[in-house]
Amino acid sequence: MSTQGYEDELRSEREYVAELYARLDAERARVKARHKAALLGTGGTALERDDEVRALGREAKRLAVADNGLCFGRLDTVRDERLYIGRIGLFDEEDDYKPVLLDWRAPASRPFYVATGANPEGMRRRRQFHTRGRVIVEYTDEDLGRPGDDAQGDAALLAAVNAPRGEGMRDIVATIQSEQDEIIRLDQPGVLVIEGGPGTGKTVVALHRVAYLLYTQRERMERHGVLVVGPNPAFLNHISRVLPSLGESDVVFMTPGDYVPGLHVTAEDTPEAARLKGSRTIVDVLKAAIADRQQLPDEPIPIELSGLTLRIDASVAEWAVEEARASDLPHNEARDVFTDIITYVLTERAIGRLTKGWLTRNDKEEWESQRAHLVKQLAENDRFTEAINELWPLLTPQTLLGPLLESKARLGRAGADPALYRARGDAWTVSDVPLLDELVDLLGRDKTADRLAAAAEARARREAAEYAEGVMGMLELDREEISEDFTLLAKDVVNAMSLAERQDEVDTRDLAERAAADRDWTYRHVVVDEAQELSEMDWRVLMRRCPNRSFTIVGDLAQRRSVYGARSWQEMLAPYAADRWIYRSLTVNYRTPAEIMAVAASVLAEFAPGTQPPDSVRASGVAPWSRKVTADELPDAIEEFVRAEAGREGTSVVIGPPGTPGTVPASETKGLEFDAVLVVDPDKILADGPRGAAELYVALTRATQRLGVLHQGPLPTALAGLTER
């Protein structure tokens, strides 16, 4: 195409995209107006109004994110049709809702990502736009249908992977590759495992898969939402913009330290304690610890009742314990059974002694009357309540686990390893959180608290109703006796109370807020990133959160650092989805230049021989380097790197052994990427525990452009390929 022809075509495309933005702005204004009207509306039930407001709110969010790269490409079919591809779908209402912009997730958009010269998918050209704001800067064309020409948007892809990194992960909606697209659109109702080495895009593929599922299964998924689990807060912050940028907001992000609402835990256990707590066998310890709190009295407990002294002795308590345990109810719910047995024995004995034998069970009505009277007295008897609390206490996960971990005696009685002991039991660690979640089910709810809360709510509603009736009664008085202002005020009071009641009935929080605050919430789909790090107990938590077993699991077994993590996907998933999971791998490294990957591959070969590193899609032309420094020179060398990178566009990080000043541990950079990385003391990283080699592998593969290494001791042999400075 001539220069003039290119400019004319570029002008035409700019005009088309400008029309798309005009449609987008008009649609935004329409939805905003409807949303405002819905907020002020009074028709229908409160639940119907709430649903409408939420639906319009979601639509407004979907339209709000489309400004950045609304339209990023075009397909020309062999029948000379033009299909424009973008972040969302737009339609011409005046032309029978003909699509003027196809959503990237629509089936008709798929050739944009998978068509090749050998398999053109009915297309003759793929055009990719490079935009700045709302304006197309340039475009590139790719002719299809010529065997042997299998380029798939290399120009756009290389521009994306070479671009400086910002503060968060970017979506890849404009540059999805064929290997990735196949996984994103995979029709798998159960568990999908995506494994890939560093830089293969497994995380961003999983997030785009969520966006695709929400698009294709909206009705099934939107009322329950999606849970995304990542290794640490920094990682979640890094990826948290991807789904909103694709128009999806019904997503909850959490780390394993956030499983229990109200807790946000980041502290780590010792490796041995973490290993013990991560094993499924810890459930037996928890059950034994609960049983240990179900006591028999050392001495009979006297209870004063109707002038009599009755006793709760060991034999009575033992019978009550046996019946309560036989009920198979959780501990707190079984307490009612325990209490009922104790109550039965004491009241039976009391009736016999009070009536001196003249009353028999044949006089059923009198017997039950006597019994009801005694039961009421026991319920109001403080010593009886104290006795029940001593023998079968109400427990929360925290009041069970904390005292257990800080008591060697309790740990011993529960059959636990002494390595679990710590001086302060409630100094929670990430490994404790799955145990606290498990205890929610083992302990059950405190029905006493539920009953008190229900009674308080009923009392408040009754008082509100009585007050409203009083106000309405006053309105029935002779109007001459009541001023007009007072009448209006009274009506406002009643209307306000009615509104408050509706708000009590309808939860106005958005889905993500409600789900995150509700431990019993179940999700339609769960994404687990860095899944190789999760323990058996972590998986028990997540399976409870998603009973239909719909998961996208992302990880790399070669990067596992935790002592309790997965050694094989089959081993970890067999108890939950033995025949409902499939495996897919990503083999192309889009992040790490070939020069850096060659160094990292040498480390991989030492600790995971036989594992194939991913193939880098590009070379940077910049050789990774190493430099030996003394302890005195190290701080200045780090500062020199920081100053040099501060003058460049992009991001950088200094990674070192835990506790090294001026550095962050490799574990805190998992899943992140930086333009430049400086690794400090790689020999000490290698020596830091059994998974030190995996930590070093992670550190080396965070860089997208430049890698340097500072070492005080001997350079590990695996890093011999570095250029010495």
Running DSSP on this structure, what letter comes out for residue 106?
S
In DSSP notation, 144-211 reads -S-TT----SHHHHHHHHHSPP-SSPPP-TTT--HHHHHHHT---SSEEEEEE-TTS-HHHHHHHHHH
How far apart CA 368 and CA 394 sit, in angstroms, is 29
- Does the annotation place 196 within a ligand binding site? yes
- Does the annotation place 201 within a ligand binding site? yes
- Does the annotation place 650 within a ligand binding site? no
- Does the annotation place 684 within a ligand binding site? no
Q: Are 440 and 464 in contact (CB under 8 A)?
A: no
How far apart CA 21 and CA 84 sit, in angstroms, is 13
Q: Is the dihedral of CA 697, 703, 704, 706 positive or negative?
A: negative
- Does the annotation place 203 within a ligand binding site? yes
- Does the annotation place 200 within a ligand binding site? yes
Measure the N-to-C terminal CA separation of the chain; round to a whole number of Å: 48
Quick one: tokens of 202? 């497994």
C-alpha count within 13 angstroms, C-beta hemisphere, residue 647: 5
How would you list the strands of the sheet with 674-680, edge to edge?
A: 652-655, 674-680, 703-711, 625-628, 723-724
User: Dihedral, CA atoms, 328, 330, 333, 334, nearest 10 degrees?
Assistant: 40
User: Dihedral, CA atoms, 395, 399, 402, 404, nearest 10 degrees?
Assistant: -40
Report helix, strand or coil for 257.
helix
Q: Are 336 and 447 in contact (CB under 8 A)?
A: yes
Give φ, ψ of 423 to 5 degrees: -65, -40
C-alpha distance from residue 248 to each of 186, 217, 646 (Å): 19, 13, 34
Number of other CB atoms surrounding residue 61 within 10 Å:
16
How far apart CA 529 and CA 399 sit, in angstroms, is 31
- Does the annotation place 197 within a ligand binding site? yes
- Does the annotation place 713 within a ligand binding site? no
Residues annotated in the binding site for ATP, as ranges? 196-203
Residues annotated in the binding site, as ranges? 196-203
